[in-house]
Each structure stands twice: as C-alpha cells, then as structure tokens.
Chain A
Amino acid sequence: MPTPINTDALVIGAGPVGLFQAFQLGLQGIACHMVDALPHVGGQCAELYADKPIYDIPGIPVCTGRELVERLQQQIAPFKPTLHLGQTIETLQATADGRWSVTSQTGTTWITQTVFIAAGVGAFVPRSLPIEGLQPYMGRQVWFGSQELPSFSGQNLLVTGDGDSALQTCLDALGQAASITLMHRREHFSASAERIQAFQTAQDAGQIRFVAGQPTGVDTTADRLTALRYLNTEGEEIALPCDQLVMALGLSPKLGPVAQWGLDMERKQLQVNTETFATSAPGIFAVGDINTYPGKKKLILCGFHEATLAAFGAAAHLWPQDKTLLQYTTTSTTLHKRLGLL
C-alpha cells in the first residue's frame, strides 16, 4: 500500500468553489491538496457550461464557465495546491489522533487535519449502457469513451453514443480496426460540425457503418463478449457481433459515497453551520452545491463566501489557541508574502 500523504487540508472537488477554497486557505497560510473525479479542474463549469455565459460573478460582467475556471486557476497559482485528478473519494474516517483518513478509489490515502467537501452535485462519472452483463468485460472488451483506449487493430469495433467522443473514437480507429460501427438510437449527432463532416466522409467511403438501435443485452461465450443485442427501428431484436465495445455516452454526476461518511445530512446535502460552514464532524467543512442551510442558494458567488468563512473556520480548528486575525490583501504584508508578492 502506498504511503499516506500528510496534509493540513484536503479539498474534495475542484469546481469553482473548491478552487476558491484553495485560494482562501492559502491566504490563511494553509497548504492544501485537491482531488477531483474529472481529469481536469472546473467541475460543472467545465462539464456542463464551459461555453455558456455567467453574468453574476461580482466584478466580472460576463464570462464563460471555462473563462471563470481559467481566472480562478490564475488566482490560486501562488498557493500551488497539489492536484490529484481522475480520482474519486471512497472513504472518510476519523483517525485515533483526531485527524481524518481519506482514500480514493485508486488507493491514494491522505491523512489530513481538515477536509473541505466541495463536491457539488457529485462526481462526474461515465455513463454506461442500460444493460446487464457488461461488468466482467470492462477493461478487456468493454470501455468508456473517456478512458485511455487500447489499439483496436484487427478488431471489430462497436461504439455507442452521439457526441464528439463517440465520433472521434470511430475516426481514431480508421485504418486499424477490421470494422467500425457506430450505434445510436437515431442518426443525429451532437458533435462539432467538422467532426460530423469527417465522420460522414468515412461513412460515405464505407469505412464506418452507422446502425440505429437501442441496446438490450449482450451475447457471450465462455469468457468472451461476442455481440451486442439491440432493437432496431422496426422493434426487432438483432445481435451485432463485435470484439470491442466503447460506450462514449458522456458523463453524469453521481453523489456517490458522501452519504456513507456519517455526516449529518438533509435531503442528501450536508448540513452546515453558517459561521464556519463546518459539518457535524470537527474539521470537516462543506461548501458550494453540496451543503444546505436555511436560505441556501446554489450560486457560485454564495460558494465563494462559504469558502472564505470555512477557511477562517479551518484556521481556528488548526490553531485553536491563536486568534484568527482579519487581514486585508490591500495592506497586509503577511498576505503579500503568502501571495508571493514580497
């Protein structure tokens, strides 16, 4: 088992509020590690509205989700939070000495004084087909489009989905796979115009086949998946032979194991006090869409406020005998040092 990482603070979720949490912790002189399920930072801003305009960030009349994330990354850069991307948190347990042991599904363990749950509406995880029997073949014959994929050289490849990742997976296999088939419930793609054009060119050249269908199950022999069964547009069930199946169906958020961590919850959200945004467990704070309190509004700007008070709460938790001073970034030499200006 790898050696646990010791830290003062662990931020779970690298969306806008988690990123700003790292900034506020930095101002308090608290270094942090950050974990996110996605392979990049930004959370919902990156996954759900990267190109949509946001109008209610104070001081920024308009910016897209992606732009907001870029600005937050610049803002937190002086504090150099250690990022752990592509990992979902599984367990959170108290240690005998009053700290927290947190583990991810890939086996990383953090021993931390404080935890900031900024997990939004949950971890973004890849969608799978709504059929049984795929699990035994995952990582051998069945893949998610968001995974690193093997070479499909000489294989009969079947891809399901209608987005950029589905089309690109087909295009990447051109000249390698023995055959390439894309299946979706209808021949309508939600991808960029250039990618659809490239796909159609390959389709017209007979290099890729499109099948309209609704998957219903799989055929298997001994330890191999041999075909995907589907209903065609006439409602007949057909078996489509394949060696490799890629589910490129996008990502969806799942709240996941947060509910099993023994924290007080209300309607699947973490209850916090509004002085420090502490949960029911000492040293664990919850900020952003995952928390609830009277008057809660799920707005990014409210999350920024929550993260600020949570950082003050963390300082008081880490150094109970010290008075946590309010200092201004305009004038404080301590803050200027922390920001790397001096």
Chain B
Amino acid sequence: MPPNEFDMTHVVTENCIRCKYTDCVDVCPVDCFREGPNFLTIDPDECIDCAVCIPECPANAIFAEEDLPKDQQHMTALNAELALLPNWKSITKRKAPLPDADDWKDKTGKLAELVR
C-alpha cells in the first residue's frame, strides 16, 4: 500500500511555551513528544493522531492539525522542525512544569519566548 496521503498529525501550539506542564507525555501511546528548554513538540512521524493528549493539556495547547486556530498554522512546520533538533530528546514521563508555568499559562503571542 502506498504511504497514506491523508496522514495528519497533532500539533503543540504556542500556548505551551514557558509552561511545559508535560501531562500530555504520560498518555501518549507512542512516545512522540520531544522536550526543548521551554516547549514540548510532537514528532509528526511518530504521532498516530489518537487525540488522547488533547484533553490532558492544562494550557489547551494541543490541536489536531485540521483544527489548528488560524493564528497557529505556522506551528505544524515548527513542530516538525523542532522534533529534529539533536538537543530535543524524547520525553515519556511527566515531570514538574516550569516554575512560573501558571503565570504564563493564559498569555498569548509567546513565540518570541521560545528557546531552541
């Protein structure tokens, strides 16, 4: 069978930046999350679109690609790019969120805060 051209992925949006609650990684059946200094990304080659992570995120940061808000469309490509960075390692178990996560949780326009 040829590769499925309808393959989609799930995407972590800017809401995660400077929060990184990590609740999502605990439920991922295929360990597709990668951890950066202040953001989690989904490796689109690993994600199986099961959607189990969406309701886990306290910051509502995760969307199915087709449901991405208009102002977050750029995050699909950014997730894929960050997932390939050698210092972004697989994270499979929940850990403490960033210390000031709650202060950053409801802020928008955080893209400039992203650390690679």
- Point out the residues of chain B lying under 8 angstroms from A121, CB to CB: 29, 48, 50, 52
Main secondary structure of the interface of B (DSSP, over half): loop
When chains A and B are docked, how far (Å) is the Cα of A267 from the Cα of B50?
Answer: 12
- Point out the residues of chain B lying under 8 angstroms from A293, CB to CB: 1, 4
Q: Is the CB of B52 within 8 A of A253?
A: yes
Q: Is the CB of B3 within 8 A of A266?
A: yes
Q: Is the CB of A185 within 8 A of B96?
A: yes
Answer whether residue A26 sits at the interface, using C-beta atoms and an 8 A cutoff.
no
Q: Is the CB of A298 within 8 A of B51?
A: yes
What per-residue 1/0 map shows which CB atoms of B1-37 lie under 8 Å from chain A? Answer: 1011111000000000000000000111110000000
Answer whether residue B94 sits at the interface, using C-beta atoms and an 8 A cutoff.
yes
Answer whether residue B45 sits at the interface, using C-beta atoms and an 8 A cutoff.
yes
Q: Is the CB of A252 within 8 A of B26?
A: yes
When chains A and B are docked, how far (Å) is the Cα of A255 from the Cα of B49?
Answer: 13
- Point out the residues of chain B lying under 8 angstroms from A127, CB to CB: 26, 93-94
Q: Is the CB of A214 within 8 A of B52?
A: no
Q: How far is the CB of B89 from chain A (nearest CB, A)?
A: 14
Which residues in window 233-262 of A have CB below 8 A to B? Answer: 249, 252-255
Q: Is the CB of A255 within 8 A of B1?
A: no
When chains A and B are docked, how far (Å) is the Cα of A253 from the Cα of B27?
Answer: 6
Answer whether residue B74 sits at the interface, using C-beta atoms and an 8 A cutoff.
no
Answer whether residue A268 sits at the interface, using C-beta atoms and an 8 A cutoff.
yes
Known: A266-B4, A294-B6, A296-B4. A130 touches B93 (CB 8 A): yes
Answer whether residue A271 sits at the interface, using C-beta atoms and an 8 A cutoff.
yes
Q: Is the CB of A130 within 8 A of B94?
A: yes
Q: Is the CB of B5 within 8 A of A294?
A: yes
Answer whether residue A113 sits at the interface, using C-beta atoms and an 8 A cutoff.
no
When chains A and B are docked, how far (Å) is the Cα of A289 from the Cα of B50?
Answer: 7
- Point out the residues of chain A lying under 8 angstroms from B45, CB to CB: 267
What per-residue 1/0 map shows which CB atoms of B69-111 lie under 8 Å from chain A? Answer: 0000000000000000000000001111000000000000000
Q: How far is the CB of A229 from chain B (nearest CB, A)?
A: 14
When chains A and B are docked, how far (Å) is the Cα of A48 from the Cα of B1?
Answer: 32
The 8 closest A-B pairs by CB, nearest first: A130-B93, A122-B29, A121-B50, A253-B29, A121-B29, A252-B27, A255-B29, A214-B96
Which residues of B approach A to under 8 Å, CB–CB?
Answer: 1, 3-7, 26-30, 45-52, 93-96
List 26 A-B pairs, Cβ < 8 Å: A44-B52, A48-B52, A121-B52, A130-B95, A185-B96, A214-B95, A252-B26, A252-B27, A252-B29, A253-B27, A253-B50, A255-B48, A266-B4, A267-B45, A267-B46, A268-B30, A268-B46, A271-B1, A273-B1, A289-B50, A294-B6, A295-B6, A296-B4, A296-B6, A298-B49, A298-B50
